[in-house]
Amino acid sequence: MNNTLLDLITKYPAVFIVVAVVIICLLLILFISALREQRRTIEVSQSGITTYGGGESGYVPWQDARLFAVYRSFNARDDQFSLTYELSSATDIVRWTAVVRHPVLSLLHMTPDISQQEYQQQIQALNALVVARTSLSLYDLRNEFALDNLPQKR
Distances (CA, A) of 109 to 24, 27, 35, 68, 91: 19, 16, 8, 28, 33
What does the pLDDT read at residue 12? 79
Average pLDDT, the chain: 78
What pTM, to 2 d.p., does this model score? 0.63
What phi and psi, each to the nearest 5 degrees, are found at residue 97?
-115, 130
CATH topology of domain 41-144: PH-domain like (2.30.29)
Instruction: Categorize the per-residue pLDDT at 2 as very low, low, confident or very high, splitting at 50, 70 and 90.
Output: low
Instruction: Categorize the per-residue pLDDT at 150 as very low, low, confident or very high, splitting at 50, 70 and 90.
Output: very low
Q: Return the domain boundaries, the chain.
A: 2-34, 41-144
Is the alpha carbon torsion for 129, 131, 134, 139 positive or negative?
A: positive
Q: Check: CB of residue 81 under 8 Å from CB of residue 105.
A: yes
Instruction: Categorize the per-residue pLDDT at 152 as very low, low, confident or very high, splitting at 50, 70 and 90.
Output: very low
What does the pLDDT read at residue 133? 96
Can you spell out the DSSP letters for the chain? -HHHHHHHHHH-HHHHHHHHHHHHHHHHHHHHHHHHHT--EEEE-SSEEEEEETTEEEEEEGGG--EEEEEE-TT--TTSSEEEEEEE-SS-EEEEEEE---HHHHHTT-S-SS-HHHHHHHHHHHHHHHHHHH---EEE-TTTT-GGGSPPP-
Instruction: Categorize the per-residue pLDDT at 144 as very low, low, confident or very high, splitting at 50, 70 and 90.
Output: low
What does the pLDDT read at residue 14? 83
Structure confidence by residue, pLDDT tens digits, 81-128: 678 899 999 999 999 888 765 555 555 555 556 777 888 899 999 999
Q: Check: CB of residue 83 under 8 Å from CB of residue 70.
A: yes
